[in-house]
Amino acid sequence: MAFNFASAAGTATNQGTTGFSLGNFTPKTTASGFGFGNTTTAAPTGFGGLFGSNQNKGFGFGTFGAGTNTGLGTGISTGFGLTGFNTQPQQQQQNVLGGGLFGQPAQNLIQSNQLYNAASALNAPTLLGDERDAILAKWNQLQALWGTGKGYFNSNIPPVEFTQENHFCRFKAIGYSCIANNKDEDGLVELVFNKKEADIRAQQQQLVESLHKILGGHQTLTVNVEGVRTVPDDQTEVVIYVVERSPNGTSRRVPSSSLQAYFEQANVKANFQQLGVALTMARIELSPAQIKQLLQNPPAGVDRNIWEQAKMDNPDSERLIPVAMVGFKELLRRLKVQDQMTKLHQSRLDMISDDISELQKNQATTVAKLAQYKRKLLELSHRVLQVLIKQEIQRKSGFAIQAEEEHLRVQLDTIQSELNAPTQFKGRLNELMSQIRMQNHFGAVRSEENYYVDSDLLREIKQHLKQQQEGLSHITGIIKDDLEDIKLIEQGLSDNVHIRGGMFS
């Protein structure tokens, strides 16, 4: 997860609580972030022709890792920072004078004295003059590793202030931030308010009017809001741009650098503080020269080997840039930013999911309507065909059958005979219908455990039983007639026997 990382050559005078500001490298630090700001460019006091310098800040998210590639400092470590210190004063003093201890050459006498004092506090303090100085050296080393405290080493020299930006602080890591892709002519400037998003949206119109007044209230200038979103610590990010209309009717966006330079004026900052603005930042992409300079010069206190390793581990060197993270406060801020971005992404995914569901419903409705219209089209086609048939019959009425019509009749008779053949389509269709009825009947019996007879099948059974009954009645009638005939035969035989007996007597 990476976040927008804006930078430009300009001032770095804003509050340090919001992240890193990038420009030309100087060893300047802020209260809670690490600065890369260049020298401040003085801004004119009027509005016209002020646009000339800007300031950019960006931030990225990384993780505290283990091993050689994830900690910051010198040597191999399992977390942040260094593995230890050089305990030989002579060698340490040589490193200080040669600039090897902190990875940078000594530029002037003041810096050399600071480096020498730090080396003395860490390796050879002479405060007490006995064996306790060795314990004090270890204590100073521990404070340097933690990045806080004062290193006493000589009673005549002020102690060394250990900050989290010192070379030996272990609580450092490298993260990656997205390189902004906004052009200077886009005119986008980010304002961070110490207010909640709901309050900003409720007073958005008043906010635009206030910004227009800060810009001088010129009728040729129009303030537009590009976007509003929530950032951690109950702050809100508002992205604006200003459109300037010329007398000839054309319009253009005021460049981001020019707008940011105007916002850096003292009187404008005072007005912004009244509005609750905590930070102003121009959204401008880094130039290739700035990216090259940033990558070539590691941040102060970051070992060059770790910096080179971070550049090699960059998952996407075209879109991401390594950024140093110092201290748990910075890590917590980045975790909050990542959590906020994750929530935004999840809300966007939920919106996309709802849109997909709605589109699926619309698609199903459309498919059903298409099927309905197809059926209606087929019905209308049949009606048109019937009308054409009747019209053709009326038109051909009184005329003899033509050869084409006779040929068509023969073809239709042939098709009808093929359809009515026992082994053709009609016979197969009847067989399939019978099997379907039987399957439905057996399935109904198994599922409901009751006998269910289809109405058509029941009608066939009734017809069959009726025929059987008629057959039985017919057989019964035949048997009755035969019985009567047998009785007549028996009666006739008995009469003949009586007659013959009287004749012989």
More confident residue, 261 or 53: 261
By CB neighbour count within 10 A (0-12 exposed, 13-18 middle, 19+ buried), where does 72 fall?
A: buried
Report the percent of the chain where pLDDT is more than 90: 16
Which one-letter DSSP state was computed for residue 237?
A: E
Q: How far apart are CA 165 and CA 72, in angstroms?
A: 11
Q: Inform me whether the pLDDT recorded for 408 exceeds 90.
A: no
Residue 199: partners with Cβ closer than 8 Å, 6 or more residues away: 236
306 pLDDT band, cuts 50/70/90, is confident
Residue among 73, 64, 489 at smallest CA distance from 301 = 73
Count CB neighbours of 169 within 10 A.
25
Radius of gyration of the chain (CA): 49
Please compute the mean of the pLDDT values over residues 36-60 and round it to a whole number: 35
> 288-306 b/e with 16+ CB inside 10 Å = b?
eebbebbbeebbbbbbebb
Phi, psi of 326 (to 5 degrees): -125, 120
Strands 4-5, 172-179: pairing kind: parallel
Q: Inform me whether the pLDDT recorded for 394 exceeds 80.
A: yes
Question: Taking the C-alpha atoms of 105, 110, 116 and 121 in order, what is their torsion angle to the nearest 10 degrees?
Answer: -130
By CB neighbour count within 10 A (0-12 exposed, 13-18 middle, 19+ buried), where does 284 fall?
A: buried
Q: Pull the structure tokens for residue 392.
A: 């053709």
Q: How far apart are CA 307 and CA 323, in angstroms?
A: 9
Residue among 317, 333, 313 at smallest CA distance from 325 = 333
Residue among 184, 205, 293, 193 at smallest CA distance from 234 = 193
Query: In angstroms, how far is CA 308 from the centroid of its own chain?
Result: 31
Is residue 195 within 8 Å of 235, Cβ to Cβ?
yes
Task: Please tell me the predicted confidence (pLDDT) of residue 13.
Answer: 33
More confident residue, 58 or 448: 448
Per-residue pLDDT reduced to its tens digit, 234-267 = 889 999 999 999 888 889 999 998 999 999 888 8
Count CB neighbours of 457 within 10 A.
15
Q: Inform me whether the pLDDT recorded for 453 exceeds 50.
A: yes
Q: Pull the structure tokens for residue 303.
A: 């070992």
Per-residue pLDDT reduced to its tens digit, 104-146 = 444 456 667 778 888 888 888 888 888 898 999 999 999 988 8
Entry pTM: 0.48
Please compute the mean of the pLDDT values over residues 197-223 and round it to a whole number: 89
102 pLDDT band, cuts 50/70/90, is very low
Task: Please tell me the predicted confidence (pLDDT) of residue 376.
Answer: 95
C-alpha atoms less than 13 angstroms from C-alpha of 151 in its C-beta half-sphere: 32
